[in-house]
Structure 1
Amino acid sequence: MDAFDAIPDPVVIDILNKVGDVKTLIRCRSVSKRFNSLATQSDSLLLQLDQILGTTESDSEIDSPIASFFRSLFKSIHGFLPIFSRPANPAEILTRSPKTPAQILAGFNRIRNLEVELYGGDVKLEKGAAVKWKAEFGETLKTCVIVAFRSATVNTSATESPIDGVVESDSEFVCGLKTRVVWTISALMAASTRHYLMRDLVKEHKEMEKLTVRDREGEGTVVMDAAGMKEYRETEARVDEKGFERVRDRTVVPSVRMSMRHAPSLKLKSGICLEAATLVVVRPTGVASDDNDAELATEAFAADGGDCMYGEAVTALLKRRRNVLEMNSF
């Protein structure tokens, strides 16, 4: 007897939970009947969409006419030879496309904690600029914290505290405000798009307690807790009952109140100088107070995986004067 067969099922499931990666677990399902049964009981998963969809650099290249001809010919021949078809294999989901997250995870019925990693960021910026954000959703947006800057340079001789005396001209302020609003809208649209992408997954996996959606570049993160997902399911059920038609590719952003702080030039204690540094805390209008800006921003960035530059920028920007703006739903 194989010694592995003597290991109790709960221990095997615990090992598979440590693996986590959905691509690997789907392949494990093809090993044996036992693995096929146990792999789907993993409750802590990492779904990397770029790997699951099988995207590679060569996939994006334009086919030559000859390659296209032979590919079409092969498909035509294959269509006339059903005798060579074989039963579906769980691992085939790795190469079939397109697949939504809900379709990929259809066989996993005990998901508690799910992390979804996307292939790249959504916000298109000028060269050198950076935007990083974290948004929490339920039925719709609950909060979003955004940190952005136009450029970052390193000054190894800088050891003093962040600069507080830089004064903007009126024209610089107006131009800078337009840029900061564009950054904010772009981040909110990216967050709402990711939230909408997970709609079927949230509705089908009612046992989930935490969902995190991030991109590989670390640009933005969407989080949903158990209460937020329950709220979303109940709202969607009411909408489905009324038969409303959905013609959109993202969740509608509600009217929001933006608490914005910025610095034309922010020199950090680490020696990094950020130009047009901006911190924005976004909440739905009339839902929550502005008193916990520091708590939200610190939780989102100060302890974010050792990303000290963003944490230090948040700490410095929280000392700046706050400007409050409101924006209609979009």
Structure 2
Amino acid sequence: MTQTFDEQFSKLFREIEIDLGATSLSILVLESLYKAVQGLKGQDHHHFFEQFQELTQNIESTEPKYAIIIDSFYHILRLAYVEEVIHPEQGWPLGKKKFLEQLESMIKEKKEEKQKIVKQSEKINFSGKNILLYHHSGTVEAVLAAAKKKRKKFNVIVAEQDPDKTGETIAFLHNKKIPFRVVPSHTISHIMDEIDMLFMGALTLKSSNDFVMDTGSNGLVLQFDHAKKPIYVFISTKKFSLWKSEKRSEVFTHTSQRQLHEKAISFERIKFSHDRVEMDLFTKIITEEGIFTPEQLKKFYDERLEERIKLEKRIELLR
């Protein structure tokens, strides 16, 4: 069966994201876009603007959506829109230099983003603390590695879940010589008194004011909220989903037929891709823009969302 353009994007993005993470994926996409723009010859701006709008629509149609890539494309689209307003006439030559400089700046910024979050994390005191990690997060790992390098003393408890993800976390902690223990995630309640705080990463933040996280995150966060223990999430603001979303969007179900081993029992097994976790449950959200309370982040998000919606409307008027 022939795949559509959107399906090809979805498959390619998902494969790269699993191997390298969303930030590295976005850098690869921007580097490819840089080379594509660099190779353009004799292109007029109006034609480029139309083509880039179509490409952005393709990027917005992947499943799942990658907010960090969509955000980057809208930065370029904003520049293209401004140029279109200034030079609406047909045949105006494309100012490649402006777009290449913008792309170069964005790539550099993305490569520095994680370190900016690490810098913000220095304001959190976790010396001498027992920190619980639930899922594999490159940003959280960078925070812990930087703290270890500064000779801060802390211990990690790994909530065991998916063997591959837990294995990556264990390998990281071992390589960085960070002391750790591993406990099955469903038995965390037995050692809750020993844990001081929970560190988490997130895929995105939705307009419904909840984070998209690994399955099982919601139950764990609720346990910590009930125990009145601090919960920190580390995320780049470039990963925010700046569009109106439905409550269950970004959560996919996979249903399969299974048979109990050596028993004549067939049953339906349902698996979910992610959890949605309410933003209000978190103590602080650490981003490259600063550290936010849920209330502060809601205001920040709403302002960014309003800017995006206004840009979309302005672009629509030119079509």
TM over 0.5: no
What's the TM-score, normalizing by structure 2? 0.25
Q: Give the number of the structure whose alpha-carbon radius of gyration is greater.
A: 1
Instruction: Compute the TM-score of the two structures, normalised by the length of structure 1.
Output: 0.24
Which structure has greater strand proportion?
A: 1
